[in-house]
Chain A
């Protein structure tokens, strides 16, 4: 039984191992007898190819954990690619820089101000040991308002100076990495605002954003440009090539972004109050509200971050494929959702995590790579991907241990065990097996 539990605890990783084994065993060889699938170049190719979907899936995981959904990420990424490509290739005040510069100034000012306030509050909490973790800290107006505001203003001015100086020439790597995600973050913020303050269904809000972001992207690009090409070294700065190069010859830069996002947000979900709140809200919104969690703030932040990550993904898309186009992210939201679900995050919210998403994204990427190496017909590839999604989710939901437990239970009691009756989110005194399952889900 212990072995089974271990097996079902780690089932997610077994999927990955099996896929890798299949890949290694079926892989074609080079003429010198080297396994192509296992070659370092191929594996880093896969990591690079999944980075864009992976970044988007990272944001999507947080939104889905809260019981929401973000359908707009694909369009927002498309919008980001257009903005990024235009900033890189067109000097002066174009539609992209007119929107981007104020957005970057506002977002960076606000971000620095909030961060300063957060740190000051943390310091005050540290000084006043008796207050404890839960108590509300009341900051003096100087620390609570003026110092953060001043710091935010300084940051805003610095960013304004920097971006305006970039507008005259074309934007460089730092410029686009700053401005593009800020704009995408604002689109995410609109999603969040509509969901939280407008109290609308996330599905509808983000669907609307999906449609309108495509429209905005096309308006920004202009009627005569279905594609904004980026030729580094000729119409854009050659330094931009950094974003598709290999970092120290070891890891492709896009995958560094992806890995950092996974680790950073994984840590936030696991170790911070924000993360704990996210699980609590996803598990039961009403209970979370009643226990004093500011549900709106957490939800708003999740949509915001989802937009931000889609924006970064957009910059990486431009770097990799040398073009910005409004429809760059068509279907991306569905790929991201599929990866999140394969990773074991429940679409109902409250269960799952980023390690799962990482595995889900990798499973997807490795699968495409294997099918491509096997030179399998594109139509068959689509079919196989569908089968894999269903298969993995089946294994995810009906755990091996669970199936066996049910079989044993029904044999010893003559009753069918109902998997729905003891939902860990609603029943605090769940059975031991249930706790084990919950642990597993949190660990993943």
Chain B
């Protein structure tokens, strides 16, 4: 094919596709609501973030006077900064932001505040005191709850004994360190608990945790408890044990996050022993934004509580989410 022909052909194909599909996807911005709330999400590639967006959208349905605009930062700081600038230019009434990282997003948050837009920060905080409110879970507290539960499972305080495999989230992320520190605040007090792995990171991913667990199983004949910094990694470890034919030997597998279609389902199936809810601040964030718009004053910090999910309460949660 000649280059010119090729360019002609590809342009016409692209043109045809554009004429067919663009009108379908193109919707005029509706201006039905009284208020516009902008929400800058840092990524939608993780299930937890997807649930986050689902929660905030579900809550938005309860407030017909609010128009919710959601942007996706695609896991890049610069994209999220651009998203926020865009929302500021659109003059939203409240800006909700769940920053990818603290330092990189602080500047644009201050810019929004300078433009007289109140900012509510969700999940991860930014380095400024001028924000209206911060809503997030407390990863250290969740880690502590997991550690306390692990000690209980392994024999109770003072008597707990067993070999523990801990699979880290990303080494460069604060939640992983918090979940680690909280957990060890309890387990390190127990002389009988032996930590088998030395900072092994599964990068929050099921497949990497699977491979770490495969080798850990080769290396250790007795593993009593697996603690994954999130549910997919705990589940990946379970799968590795199952494939090695040793899922019955490992007594307890604990995860964190408690998403209905992941952790809770796996707990309900008996694949994980327990998971701890790391609630998304989506619904709460929008509720607080509406409160603010109605003229109420907000508390500076709201910490979302965690919840232990075991086989007892898993079915209820699944029913509530229409999964059972």
**Residues of A with Cβ closer than 8 Å to B?**
28, 30-31, 36, 39, 41-42, 45, 49, 193, 197-199, 218, 223-227, 229, 244, 317, 320-323, 325-328, 368-369, 372-373, 375-379
A49 to B44 alpha-carbon distance, docked (Å): 28
Task: Specify the main secondary structure of chain B where it touches its partner.
Answer: helix
Q: Are A224 and B54 in contact (CB under 8 A)?
A: yes
Q: Is B30's beta carbon under 8 Å from chain A?
A: no
Q: Are A378 and B207 in contact (CB under 8 A)?
A: no
Q: How far is the CB of B219 from chain A (nearest CB, A)?
A: 6
Q: A45-B214, A322-B239 are in contact. Are A197 and B49 (CB under 8 A)?
A: no
Q: Are B219 and A375 in contact (CB under 8 A)?
A: yes
Q: Mark B195-220, 1 if CB is under 8 A from A, else 0.
A: 01111110000110011101110110
Q: Are A328 and B200 in contact (CB under 8 A)?
A: no
Q: Is B6's beta carbon under 8 Å from chain A?
A: yes
Q: For residue A39, which residue of chain B has the nearest CB?
A: B218
Number of residue pairs A-B, CB distance < 8 angstroms: 87
The size bracket of the interface on B is 35 or more
Q: Which of B45, B199, B214 contacts A327 (CB 8 A)?
A: B45
Q: How far is the CB of B12 from chain A (nearest CB, A)?
A: 15
Q: For residue A376, which residue of chain B has the nearest CB?
A: B198
Q: Is B307's beta carbon under 8 Å from chain A?
A: no
Q: Are B7 and A198 in contact (CB under 8 A)?
A: yes
Q: Are B243 and A244 in contact (CB under 8 A)?
A: yes
Q: Are B200 and A373 in contact (CB under 8 A)?
A: no
Contacts of B197 in A (CB 8 A): 375
Q: Are A198 and B3 in contact (CB under 8 A)?
A: yes
Q: A197-B3, A225-B50, A373-B219 are in contact. Are A378 and B214 (CB under 8 A)?
A: no
Q: How far is the CB of B195 from chain A (nearest CB, A)?
A: 10
Given A42-B218, A321-B210, A378-B201, 4 new contacts (CB under 8 A): A326-B45, A372-B200, A372-B211, A373-B219
Q: Are B211 and A49 in contact (CB under 8 A)?
A: yes
Q: Which of A321, A322, A323, A372 contacts B212 (CB 8 A)?
A: A372
Q: Are A375 and B198 in contact (CB under 8 A)?
A: yes
Q: Are A373 and B201 in contact (CB under 8 A)?
A: no
Which of A229, A244, A328, A378 has its CB near the most chain B CB atoms (within 10 A)? Answer: A378
Q: Can you pick out 17 interface pairs between chain A and chain B where the beta carbons lie within 8 Å of each other?
A: A42-B215, A193-B6, A197-B3, A199-B3, A218-B44, A223-B44, A226-B44, A227-B47, A229-B262, A320-B207, A321-B207, A321-B236, A321-B239, A373-B219, A378-B168, A378-B199, A379-B199
Q: Are B47 and A31 in contact (CB under 8 A)?
A: no
Q: For residue B244, which residue of chain A has the nearest CB?
A: A41
Q: How far is the CB of B172 from chain A (nearest CB, A)?
A: 9
Q: Is B301's beta carbon under 8 Å from chain A?
A: no
